[in-house]
Structure 1
């Protein structure tokens, strides 16, 4: 094989350098280039829309470099070129656009106004609420969105619940009704129209989703925080160490073992005020005492776990049960406890007539709802009274989880 001479090598290198230079000139964007052909603009459409809408501009000699183009809507420059070709370009109306002239510049050729573009006012969502009047929304519920500038064309917009598309039932310029979609995740409602998305200000809660559903179905639960603490159960007005739990808790007469009050205790020695509390010192027994509350809505079909954090000096001849029962009318007494959906006896290992051994920790109760229904969750107490060193039970917080 012949070897290339030094002269030929130099020639090839020179040609390569010229080729690179030509390619570089073609690739480079030079805003001062004045020899590019004059552009023509035939028109644009549509002539109105929302920020984020796509506008198509037709003409000739646009070239193929969108960097050479400056498109402005009443002075607001376009930052999003959807497509760009020799005779057609598609751009998104910038968010700050206002009514006024549409201007086109390619290289140094300027068309100061190719017509007027009308920017529509974006919709505004003032409030969203479910059929029950709250932001707790079951899949299948009709949700009403109140606001303005919605228009009357349901096909022009898309409503999503945290990304899941909802069916629009009806639309007016100031009200939209949609059906909450199956399986949506708790979050905000979004309204998308003409390329722009408006985010609602109200979180729509799906109580059928798995996880901690305590705030949606129960109230006055001890307010569990990340460390397992909280602010305590609230009580009806009054003074003294013992009182009655506030609504929605319901305490029967047997549960009010301190001369018509009881079921709630101020026990600051244990770190905070406000506990579900039964104490039988002073020979004040509890005989089928019941404290319960019904769920605020029907629980969806599924399996659930109740977790209770509590302290107990309950003695071996006494008992406290955590129960859940069908319906909203209470939990069964000891003789009928087998009719409950589920129950668990809490610690009762203290020696009779003593305050030890004791227990501090959590108990769980699993149950299943076969048909959607309201259930009652509560406590059943049968605690012997003693003049001193009686029984003592203290509930710190309770929570409900859908599995």
Structure 2
């Protein structure tokens, strides 16, 4: 007969009873969690972006699939701060956009969740974004303006390049038009210069440079304005061989013509059947020069004048350089020819008045420069327009084939 160990049977019986009781307890606890049904999550926001700005960020996204979503919540600073965005669903895709203000310059970790009317939330999405403020602003510098060149109402501005990693976009220029109006233009960072065609002559202008810290930033930052006083640089145009001639007037005999703008030629210089001052060339080397030639069947000249107008800066030492291809002018010529720099845009005095006219700043009689260069130094006490050119009274066989004119700063 088989014997049983009642102590062991009692032990197993008690253990089985306890396990059963525990299991019932666990099952009962589970029922407490699902009394109101299974756990429910709302659909999360799609295409989520948080864009940086000046002490703020902009949140953008789409609600696509879940019609129950009624609210978006954004948390930051370890959930100590938050923002709530109400959402009204339609039958389609709904765009969500909101700006969170008053965020000091920093890097933020945002947690974003959607909710339905019952308080059921979506799975959290975490996005890191920055804000920009005084520290970034203090790092910005205005783009360097290399120079500005006024020429009547036309103003040319040349800029230096900049480090593109700074987020630089370009510069805003505020100037006064020739009609006295204030106007603003934008110069892209990829443009090294700009020509303003309607700027009031020598009127001050101001400019500032614009930046975006990232390509997705919602705000633009600006440097302080820098005020600039345009400084003229006297420049002579159509001032070297090959000179251009006035095609409207044309050539006479295939050789003689009148110089193209900005040269101004008076009637006394147009002795070759209504033209004069331009020489298409009688022989090698003399082609397309400036030349007042008398004799050899051509009339004499009396106060023939050719000049152009430019602008000189105040108290700057300049030098006019005048070079010939060939010439037989002499300083001993009666009356003769003169290089002249005169104040104003009204042209040059007559030969007999060159040495005494009050408007004349500087002059030099032309002679002894066959293939050589003459120089004339000058300056003006204030920014001024000046007339630069030559005036001649000559008889007999005289010529001066001019190669170039140039004004340099000493």
- Shorter-chain TM range is 0.3 to 0.5
| Structure having the higher Rg | 2
TM-score, normalising length from structure 1?
0.48
TM-score, normalising length from structure 2?
0.47
